[in-house]
């Protein structure tokens, strides 16, 4: 006679069928990012990147892929994203921030706003 009840738990089914790849396209995230960045560079500059620019694009793609992954500390994520921003700006891929300055009012506008009428 058994004194303890035996509990049988089932394993969760594996995400992918046996013999099937989890990445059927065979393209890594890094390769996909590099292709997207190269296409963007070509569309902006109208030419293919030279060897230094291509190496920079590969570095950016590697950091972007690592940022999308798991297991990064907050500090690592901030450092990598800052580095991606700087490198993308160096290649001309980063958009310039919009200016938030309001145009200065003329003297007549200032007087009208402050006193209600302009002289």
- Output the CA angle 32-51-92, nearest 5 degrees: 70
> For the chain, what are the domain ranges?
29-91
**How many CB atoms are closer than 10 A to CB 33?**
20
C-alpha dihedral (63, 67, 69, 70), degrees to nearest 10: 130
The chain-wide mean pLDDT, for the chain, equals 85
Q: Does the structure show a pLDDT above 70 at 2? A: no
Q: For the chain, first and last CA: distance in Å? A: 106
94 against 80, higher pLDDT: 80
pLDDT tens per residue, range 52-77: 999 999 999 999 999 988 888 999 99
């Amino acid at each position: 006679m058994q004194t303890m009840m035996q509990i049988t738990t089932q394993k969760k089914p594996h995400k992918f069928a046996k013999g099937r790849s989890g990445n059927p396209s065979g393209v890594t995230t890094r390769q996909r990012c590099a292709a997207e960045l190269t296409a963007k560079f070509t569309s902006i500059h109208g030419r293919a990147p030279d060897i230094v620019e291509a190496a920079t694009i590969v570095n950016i793609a590697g950091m972007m892929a690592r940022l999308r992954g798991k297991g990064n500390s907050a500090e690592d994520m901030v450092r990598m994203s800052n580095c991606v921003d700087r490198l993308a700006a160096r290649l001309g891929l980063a958009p310039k921030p919009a200016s938030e300055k309001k145009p200065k009012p003329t003297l007549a506008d200032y007087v009208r706003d402050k006193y209600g009428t302009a002289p």
